[in-house]
Amino acid sequence: MQFSKLTPLQIEVGTQSTMLFCEKCNNRRLPKWMKIENTTLWLCETCGNFADAKNYVIREVEKE
């Protein structure tokens, strides 16, 4: 069995689709719920950024 190039997996949520992989580095994004905004943002630990459900980068990870 031969596999072709892997493509990012999408999960359909109503009318939104959420990318589980970062477009920049192709590593997995992790869901992080933000209490203040009452929403889930998707964290790429490699690039250090958060994306929303439409895969737009919202902000960078804050360094402590």
Write the pLDDT tens digit of every residue in 4-58. Answer: 555 555 555 543 444 678 888 888 888 888 788 788 889 999 989 988 888 888 8
Q: Which pLDDT value is given to residue 14?
A: 47
Q: How is 13-63 classified by DSSP, letter by letter?
A: ETTEEEESB-TTT-PBPEEEEETTTTEEEEEETTTTEEE-TT--EEEEPPP
Question: What are the domain boundaries of the chain?
Answer: 10-60
Minimal CA–CA distance to 57: which of 48, 37, 8?
Answer: 48
Q: Which pLDDT value is given to residue 15?
A: 39
Q: Which pLDDT value is given to residue 60?
A: 84
Q: Which pLDDT value is given to residue 17?
A: 43
Q: Given this structure, which CATH class describes domain 10-60?
A: mainly beta
